[in-house]
Amino acid sequence: MNIIKYILVVLLISLVTACGTPKLDTSTDETIETSAQNIMSELSIEDQERFKKSLVGIYTIGALSSMGSNKSADEIQSSVNAKLNGKTAEEIFKLAEEISQKMKSK
């Protein structure tokens, strides 16, 4: 009986953690779009706009900071994707703010 209770507790914990905050999946262009839509569906209209601007800003700064390097556009996008992969909306907002602060201090 104890083993069944243990298995049920483990299963319940797995289900609860699987239903967490949506995260950005940058593995393909399609998953980026789908996961971004999932994230935005849980945000207010104001935060949806903030989320879009944050993503555009992060990708733009990633591209601009790589100017003059020998990196291809795909390499630059892969680099930015790696920084964004698995992040929640709040984490993306924080990253965009950190980048903005770094740009202001230069």
Entry pTM? 0.78
**How would you write the pLDDT of the chain (106 residues) with one tens digit per residue?**
556 665 655 545 554 445 578 999 999 999 999 999 999 999 999 999 999 999 999 999 988 888 888 888 889 999 999 999 999 999 999 999 999 998 888 7
When computed from its CA atoms, the radius of gyration of the chain, rounded to whole angstroms, is 18
pLDDT at 19: 56
Confidence (pLDDT) at 16: 46
Question: Cα-Cα-Cα-Cα dihedral of 87, 89, 91, 95, to 10°?
Answer: 100
